[in-house]
Structure 1
Amino acid sequence: MAETPTPQDTAPTTPQQPKMQVLGQFIRDLSFENVVSQKPINGEVTPDIQVQVSLDARKRTQDHQFEVVVKLKITSKNRGTESVLFLLELEYCGIFHIENVPDEQMHPYLMIECPRMLFPFLRRIVSDITRDGGFPPLNLDNIDFVALYRQELARRAEANKLQS
């Protein structure tokens, strides 16, 4: 006699939720130049801070593991004279174990969700470095990684148009 299927056996399988685990994070490269200490500035100082952000990600040899790098270049110049006050360059990496993310969604996931997880630690490092470097602590504004991702896609599409 054959068994009749139960409702659980005939129910459609629901996709599993994405699973992300931060396995590690570290500073790959850090450079801080306090230019003011080398060439003092006379007169009033009005800092103009520019922050450049770039992202990189790659698959590691282990299954489901990825490395994501957030690169910051922060330049503080004296408004008016444009003389550099300080320059901070930082590469901050995270190692992630990611499962249940479809292949077509993996790239945006790596370039948006992973940097979001790293950002609070990155912000703290920037604050500590600028304070320890003799300046008021720089508390970075939140970074919109979705907008950053869309800008990069638009830039690549434009570059492809120019090559065609």
Structure 2
Amino acid sequence: MADEGNIISNLDLDQPEGPLANGEDTAPAIGLISQYVKDLSVENPNAPESYQWAEQPEMQVDFNIGARTLGDDVHEIELKINVSSKTSQGTAFAVELAYGALIGMRNVPDEQAHPFLFAEGPRLVFPFARRIIADAVRDAGYPPLMLDPIDFNGLYLAQLQQRQEEELAAGAGQA
């Protein structure tokens, strides 16, 4: 009976969420552990002739975001960015970058972890990947390519809305 009194006396409902009396940390925490280049490919197939081409090149930039769980509290974000510069005379350069980041997450619910891994995390590491692309293009003999900032949160919300609309359409088709 005395033990029950101790448990009740240690429970303070007015306390904010955080570490419990026994020292267990239940507060949500997210942190960037590491960033790294997983793969970098630079192709300059028509050098040095391409340096003399007068035609304005067509630039194509594609990117993809992936995330996976590596352990209970560790996740990897991977940004894949492919850039190519082409004219009617051929390809001036092509750069492919796979840029990774390790994210530590503890006590974060799935409904908050998913947007972090696919929107906020990529927003945090994109400037570093952007610099690598700029340096790679410069090192290939061209002016550095400064990629425009990307609204990862807007893209995430748009994809989420599109997915919901597709699910509604699929559900309406089955009815």
TM-score normalised by length of structure 1 = 0.79
In structure 2, relative to structure 1, the CA distance for the partners of 1:116 and 1:77 (3 Å cut) is: same
Structure 2 distance, partners of 1:31, 1:155, is 33
Larger Rg: 2
Displacement after TM superposition at 1:35 (Å): 2.7
Are 2:108 and 1:101 equivalent residues in the alignment? Answer: yes
Deviations 1:45-96 (A, max 9, x none): 31222211110001112x2110010000111123xx2732111111000011
Letter in 1 for 2:67: A
Gaps of 5+ in 2: 19-25
CA distance in 2 between counterparts of 1:56 and 1:140 reads: 19
How far does the alpha carbon of each residue in 1:112-150 deviate from its partner, in whole angstroms, 9 at most, with x for none?
111112112111111111111111011111111112223
CA distance in 1, matches of 2:89, 2:155: 27
Q: Of residues 149, 152, 160 in structure 2, which corresponds to 1:142?
A: 149
1:57 counterpart letter in structure 2: A
Matched length: 159
1:57 aligns with 2:67: yes
**Are 2:79 and 1:70 aligned?**
yes
Kindly state the Cα deviation for residue 153 of structure 1 after the two structures are TM-superposed.
Answer: 3.1
| Residue 12 (structure 2) pairs with residue 9 (structure 1) | yes
- Report what 2:32 is aligned to: 22
Return 5+ residue gaps in structure 1 as ranges.
none
Cα pair distance change 1:21/1:31, threshold 3 Å:
same
